Structure 1
Amino acid sequence: MTKLFCILAFSLTTLTALALEDQPTLMTTRGKLLVDQNFSQPLKPFDGKSNGFASGFSGWRWNAVPRGGKWAVENGVFTGRETAEVKHPATASYGFLYKNVVIQCEVRMNNVPLAGRKYRSLSVRTVDAKDYVCSIHMNEGGFRITKDDNDHAGPDKSVPLGAAKVPLKLDEWHTVVFEVLGNEMVGTVDGQSLTGSHDLIDREKHSLMFVMGVEGSVRHLKVWEAAPNPDWAKNKTKVQAAAVPAKP
């Protein structure tokens, strides 16, 4: 089990002062721009056939009644809110084919009534034809990166690869940089990074997904093809040296 866990942390103090496209990457370098979404216009419906996870589609799709979840675009912000009667997080997916990527965006947990829910949460997930592959999951106590294998490897779900205990305030924007290359991933939130590896990560993927518990928002979404960063060995050493085990 210890091979599955890789709890690592690394601070980049200048991160918040930089423009989104200038955010540092640790493991990868940016290649071709694949997705550039500023949510300035109403979202077009997806193209293709929807068939659960094994669906071929491009563009946006999101859950709706009866499963729950309402999504809206306003002033450059894409917001998802779960419906209280269903208690199901609001999910929205952007469909495109990829394997190695850098995903960057800003996210916010909105301070709305909990309506019977105990916790607020927000996650950014990569998805293949079967299920979630890996993700960054955030709540008010911190964030973690996970290997998600609901349909791939038996009963385990959202196995943590690393966790960091940092306060993530409500109604404030937090910057996410999510690097996926081969069987490794690096998740960075507001300059603090976690990294882990697993064979499941090295799969072809067909969408990325936002999951909003209670209510959350995303803006300034960009996705690039990822190439290896020659400084990763040095950066990884720094990450390992700063590792602080924690559970959010």
Structure 2
Amino acid sequence: MIRSTAFALGLSTVLLALTAMAEEASSPLDTLMCERGKLLLSDSFETGPSKQWRTAKGKWEAVDGATQGSELKADEHVAAMRVNQKVRNLVLQYSFKMDGSKTTTLSINDAKGHNSRVMINANGFSVRKDDHDHAGPDKAELLQMVKTKIAPGKWHTLVVEFNGPEMLARLDGKQVAYGSHEAIDVDKTNFGLTVGGESVSFKDFSLWEATPKADWSQSKAKVISQSK
């Protein structure tokens, strides 16, 4: 009886710990520039991408309670899955784990083409304005790069905020990449996750409408200085 009780108590402790970890993983992290509004999309990715996601390139499958994407050589293209959602100012959050991949991106489109993206690799991450028409004179433009080691095999959480022409990405609640470009200030219509190389796992993807924080104009200078 004593052993059974001890086992039950031990199992209960483990289950409570796992529950707490799951709740922590899915909890919205603090934002810097925007206040979250209406929740537009939410996908845990526990059993693979839901039907609203389109997986045209690469291999996408459920692995260990997350969705794992892997590039296929035959595609001659990074693995990509995309979801349609129209929104202008927004907060987006998801977690990722790099498992041998070279790079992964959050790719954002508008009605006419590529708009912007967050690029992530083992040595850091960056925010970029995309080449919109591929014919000129518009060109892709790096807004800011942050050099930091992103450990493979470990979960990281990315929070991305858009406010008019401004774009901000924050990794694990710490490092910040920020930039501004007038071409970003349009309705976004499509969001994609890409994988270049072996594989990346994703979980807890959420997208909200957003409004600027009341104190953003005062705190912007501090955010920019800290991100340098």
**Same fold per superposition (TM over 0.5):** yes
Structure-1 residue corresponding to 2:194: 211
2: CA distance, partners of 1:184 / 1:211? 22
Instruction: Find the partner of 1:29 among 35, 38, 48.
Output: 35
Q: TM-score, normalised by structure 2?
A: 0.82
Structure-1 residue corresponding to 2:147: 165
Using the TM superposition, name which of 79-88 and 29-38 deviates more: 79-88
2: CA distance, partners of 1:176 / 1:103? 8
1: CA distance, partners of 2:32 / 2:66? 27
By how many angstroms is 1:31 displaced? 0.4
Change (3 A) 1:187 1:205: same
2: CA distance, partners of 1:44 / 1:109? 21
Change (3 A) 1:157 1:70: farther
RMSD across aligned positions (CA): 2.0
By how many angstroms is 1:74 displaced? 3.5
Structure-2 residue corresponding to 1:178: 160
| Percentage identity across paired residues of the two chains | 34
Structure-2 residue corresponding to 1:140: 122
By how many angstroms is 1:168 displaced? 0.5
Structure-2 residue corresponding to 1:242: 226
Instruction: Find the partner of 2:84 among 92, 95, 103.
Output: 95
* Partner deviation per Cα, 1:153-190 (whole Å, 9 max, x = no partner): 72655311001100011111111000011111111112
Asked whether the 8 Å contact 1:63–1:70 carries over to 2, the reply is no
Higher strand share: 2
Structure-2 residue corresponding to 1:77: 66
Asked whether the 8 Å contact 1:39–1:75 carries over to 2, the reply is no
Change (3 A) 1:213 1:156: farther
Structure-1 residue corresponding to 2:206: 222
Change (3 A) 1:226 1:153: farther
* Partner deviation per Cα, 1:191-214 (whole Å, 9 max, x = no partner): 211111111111112111001111
How many residues are paired up?
203
Give the 3-state SS of the residue equivalent to 2:31 in structure 1.
Answer: coil
Asked whether the 8 Å contact 1:26–1:231 carries over to 2, the reply is no
Moved over 4 A (4+): none
Higher helix share: 2
Structure-2 residue corresponding to 1:11: none
| 2:56 is the alignment partner of 1:63 | yes
1:242 counterpart letter in structure 2: Q
Asked whether the 8 Å contact 2:96–2:202 carries over to 1, the reply is yes
Unmatched segments (≥5 aa) in structure 1: 1-17, 46-58, 113-119
Mark the structure with the bigger radius of gyration.
2
Give the 3-state SS of the residue equivalent to 2:177 in structure 1.
Answer: strand
Give the 3-state SS of the residue equivalent to 1:226 in structure 2.
Answer: strand
Give the 3-state SS of the residue equivalent to 1:171 in structure 2.
Answer: coil
2:93 counterpart letter in structure 1: Q
Instruction: Find the partner of 1:105 among 94, 97, 100.
Output: 94
Change (3 A) 1:130 1:73: farther
1: CA distance, partners of 2:163 / 2:227? 21
